[in-house]
Structure 1
Amino acid sequence: MNNHYEIDSRSVKEGDIFIAIKGEHSNGHDFVNDAFNKGANSAIVEEKRNYIKNNIILVDNVINYINDIASKNLKKYSKIRIGITGSNGKTTTKFFLFHLLSYGFNVFTTEKNYNTEIGIPLSILNNYKNQPVSILEMGLRKENDIKYLSKYYNPNVSIILNIGSSHLEFFKTREKIAEEKLKILSYAEKPGIVFINGDEPLLNIKYPSDIKVFKFGEKKENDGYLIDFEYLNGNTRVFYNIYGENLMLTFTGIWNKGQLMDALAALMVSLYFEIPLDPFYISGFKLPEKRFKLKQFKDSIIINDAYNASKEAFLAAFESFKKMDFDNKKILLMAEVLEIGEQSYEYHQEIIEKAKDFFDEIYFYDPQKKFDFKDIKFLRDKNEVFRILNIPKAFIYVKGSNGTGLWKFVEEIFNNKD
């Protein structure tokens, strides 16, 4: 597709097609004329208004329309369509699998962490070039989100990474979250394949007979399992058993245990399609930004892992740190895990109790004064966060939900480093 589609009128360029999205806080139809004034060629709308140009595509539902045209083009050419869902690790898995499969295939994947009913079609409409293999990350925010995406994109290879506690505020139980994640199979093309976390009881269910199931995890009864890992000279050496064969690989940079499980899922898919594992090629992959990034700052080491957060991600990181050698003071700088709901206090208390087994000091960035835990110190503003990040000769792990803004403070100190 040669046309460029845009949902933000401020970013419209000459010849673009503007998509008028009704959002929670604004209505794209209010900006159609702005888009035309900036050079938009046409606009996709669902509201009849007095627009300054007649080049309007009037549809019943804009989001359904863009998913329809995007999915039809994708399904026409992409015969292998991989859908990835899970509470943690979707973006890392997507980009690592893209890297692996690109060794043997021409592969498309959605950009950044585009994983919604808006981001996925927009990425396809602007970037898809008829690649025969596609990888789509599918996010969950409300009931039937995954089912909606499955209906349009019909994955024939599905990956369910894990069932965490993200979104408990909306779904109340992990059982309900698992039910929603499993809806990736609602409209999966059959016969199909699904790769599931075999260590998760909520995923060990009876699957349709025309869906072939492969399992990954730590348990030896899985089709692929993590044996062990270690850190050497700033890189990660990992030992797997996949489809009955032992495998040793070296990944560039420091990968935590959760990321190594994501990598395992991607490796199993790649090996299923008989893509050769070239150790040198694999070592060329770098983890996405703001995900477990270890950097030297003055005479300290800071790991900025505050792109997103969950209890499971915290605990996976804590396990990984036990593999490292530390001489310096160990500090946890954490922020709230959002969207937990009424269980939030107990949820964070469990994280803190686990952290006490490893860290010398724990700081909680809580500007709204929501919490009151014992034996930890609270930070209320940016300057207090900067003070902790500037503690000399320390190992500082930074973790919290993206919406807390904690990750921005880390980036700011690195950008302003003398």
Structure 2
Amino acid sequence: MLNIIYYLNTLIFNFCIAFYLISALQWYSYKLKRIVFHYHKPLWHLYFLFLPYFLFLAFPLYSLFYFIVHIIILYFWNKKIDKKLVFTQKVKIFFILVFIFNALFALLSFHLSFLFNLLSLPCALIGLKIYDFFGVKYFYSQAKKKIENNKKLTIILITASFGKTSIKNFLYTLLKDDFKVYKTPKSVNTFMGIIRDINENLNETFDIYIAEAGARNQGDIQEITKLLEPQICIIGEIGNAHLEYFKNIENTRKTKLEALNSKKLKKAFLHTSTQKSENELISLYDQKILKVDASLEGINFDLLLNNEKHSFKSIILGSFNAQNLCACILCANFLGLSLEKIKTQILKIKPVKHRLEVLSKKPKFIIDDGFNGNFKGMSESYRLCKTYKGRKILITPGIIEVDKEENIKLAKIINECFDLVIISAKINQEIFKDTLTIPSIFLKEKSELIGILAKETKDKDLILFSNDAPSYL
């Protein structure tokens, strides 16, 4: 009987730790180093890792009651967070490995020492790493073969510090009526995400594959470029996004420029922030823009194309989107679309979800810019809102994964443009408390937001949701 209680104790202990650990790993792209050195909620490690380990070591035969309570705590914790664990094949494999190793080490502990149970999770993580290693090789070879077998396929690779998803969706709308086009879904932009997308969704009927490529470390874009070998690449603006990982903008720039290493590259459309010069292969798209007029109704802009000035109009908000559209126009023109067709398609482009998307104009003017997380885009959207005649309210966590100075600069612009600001996450609250001069509300929990908006806003107010931060930040 004692052995059964002991086994249940170790099983519940390991599964509680495993659930929290794999959730954290999934948030941080399964990078163990990131949840050790870049984790934004270190107290959670105390509650869900260190405290359970201490109790298990101190009371190996008598902590079963605590771990039953711990299940309830984890349940309510998981219910409260907004980015819940997704039970992918990888996650399921991890839990199976935890169960197998727990059973194995429980048997050993009966005869030797209960400390063997502490090896269950490390061994499961090692097993997951081995599964990943062979899985990546297998799925990579499948994806590579699929691309090589489609001789007619043109691949367009898009990368940037910000604006990747917008450029991808804009370009897709421009091309979809004249080509059979497929694009990576939503914000899928990692090496393994692209591999999975190719294997599951890309087929031989497509003429063009538009792939968005993201990065956290040097070599990430090179890895994707080697897989895809794109004929066309678009490298958007290089900025301070993800400085927490890249350390400086030069490292970011070098990483994004890895896209030019494709052996099949025929044309590249680059932002001037890449610091490259124009030649037969490279076109600097933002230099082609002559004039931009932006309002809460859309944008009008002129650009130089084939040494002639052409005017374009779009319902997309934000002057910075003129640059994103310009990259798409040049690319579409390179692929053979006429200017008349491009101008027609530009008018059909709708805002990308959560990127300066107008949700309503009455009774309140509500704009969702929740996926815009860089200083340039956020500050331009604030100045755009400043033109609104009525009262203006901002909801934002600030900018994530940048240095303190970026948020100080942002706060100064907020002071100029809004009447009320609601800071929706704890991560930058101290910075904003020191810098904001307008009326400000600091949320303890995101769940408070609905009640505060009902209380603090009224008809004809403009409400901008700017950037978003998951509850683990």
TM range (shorter): 0.7 to 0.9
Shift, 1:175, TM fit: 1.1
Q: Which residue in 1 is equivalent to 2:227?
A: 152
Partner amino acid, structure 2, of 1:247: H
* Structure showing greater Rg: 2
The alignment status of 1:361 with 2:424, answered yes or no, reads: no
CA shift digits 1:188-240 (9 cap, x unpaired): 12452111112x2xx22368x8x7010122xxxx2x215122448x4443333
1:373 matched residue in structure 2 = 434
Structure-1 residue corresponding to 2:188: 114
1:91 aligns with 2:165: yes
Q: Secondary structure at the match of 2:373?
A: coil
Q: What secondary structure does 1:263 align onto?
A: helix
Counterpart Cα distance in 2 of 1:389 and 1:239 = 39
Give the structure with the higher percent helix. Answer: 2
- How far off is 1:179 after superposition? 0.9
Describe the shift of the 1:59–1:87 C-alpha distance in structure 2 as closer, same or farther (beyond 3 A). Answer: closer
Is 1:398 matched with 2:459? no
The DSSP-based 3-state class of the residue aligned with 2:285 is strand
Distance 1:134 1:161 in 2: 18
Q: Gaps spanning 5+ residues in structure 1: where?
A: 1-21, 34-46, 51-57, 407-418
Match of 1:61 in 2: 134
Q: For 1:123, which of 197, 216, 237 is the aligned residue?
A: 197
* Aligned twin of 1:73: 146
- Once the two structures are TM-superposed, the CA of residue 68 in structure 1 deviates from its matched residue by 2.7
Q: Structure 1 pair 59/401, CA: closer, same or farther in 2 (3 Å)? A: closer
> What letter corresponds to residue 466 of structure 2 in structure 1?
K
The equivalences for 1:235-274 within 5 A come to 235-252=298-315, 254-274=316-336
In the TM superposition, residue 264 of structure 1 has moved relative to its aligned partner by 1.0
The change in CA–CA distance for 1:27 and 1:334 in structure 2 (over 3 A counts) is closer
The question of whether the paired residues in 2 share the 8 Å contact of 1:81 and 1:156 is answered with yes
User: The residue matched to 1:288 in structure 2 has which SS?
Assistant: coil
Deviation string for 1:68-98 (max 9, x for gaps)?
Answer: 3213212332442110000111111111111
Does the 8 Å contact 2:375/2:406 carry over to 1? yes
* Residues 9-408 of structure 1 mapped to structure 2, 5 A cutoff: 23-24=30-31, 27-30=91-94, 61-77=134-150, 78-130=152-204, 131-186=206-261, 188-190=262-264, 192-198=266-272, 200=273, 203-205=274-276, 212-217=281-286, 222=287, 224-231=288-295, 234-252=297-315, 254-276=316-338, 277-278=340-341, 279-296=343-360, 299-321=363-385, 324=387, 326-340=388-402, 343=403, 345-367=404-426, 369-371=429-431, 372-374=433-435, 375-376=437-438, 377-380=440-443, 381-382=445-446, 384-390=448-454, 391-392=457-458, 393-403=460-470
Instruction: Please give the TM-score of this superposition, normalised by the length of structure 1.
Output: 0.74
Structure 2: runs of 5 or more not aligned: 1-28, 33-89, 98-123
User: Matched residue pairs, number?
Assistant: 348
TM-score when normalising by structure 2: 0.66
Deviations along 1:3-57, whole A, 9 cap, x unmatched? xxxxxxxxxxxxxxxxxxx945875533679xxxxxxxxxxxxx9x99xxxxxxx
Alpha-carbon distance, 1:384 to partner? 4.6
Distance across 2 between alignment mates of 1:256 and 1:294: 12
- Could you tell me which residue of structure 1 aligns to residue 23 of structure 2? none
Aligned Cα root-mean-square deviation (Å)? 3.1
Query: What is the alpha-carbon distance in structure 2 between the residues aligned to residue 321 and residue 297 of structure 1?
Result: 13
Distance 1:71 1:245, change over 3 A: farther
After superposing the two structures, state which structure 1 stretch, 145-154 or 71-80, moved more: 71-80
Distance 1:307 1:191, change over 3 A: closer
Q: Deviations over 1:121-172 (max 9, x none)?
A: 1111121122222111000122211111011111121111111111101111
Residue of structure 2 equivalent to 1:412:
none
Give distance in 1, aligned partners of 2:450 and 2:361: 12
Displacement after TM superposition at 1:243 (Å): 3.2
1:270-319 deviation line (CA, Å, top 9, x unaligned): 01122124344432221221111112276221111012401122123234
Contact 1:307 1:402 in 2 (8 A): no
Q: Distance in 2 between matches of 1:88 and 1:264?
A: 15
The 1:402–1:66 alpha-carbon spacing in structure 2 relative to 1, beyond 3 Å, is: farther
Match of 1:11 in 2: none
Q: State how far apart, in whole Å, the 2-side matches of 1:123 and 1:226 are.
A: 38
Deviation at 1:388, TM superposition (A): 4.9
Structure 2 Cα separation of the partners of residues 105 and 169 of structure 1: 39
Structure 1 pair 235–350 and aligned structure 2 pair: CA distance change class (3 A): closer
Aligned partners of 2:218 and 2:252 also within 8 Å? no
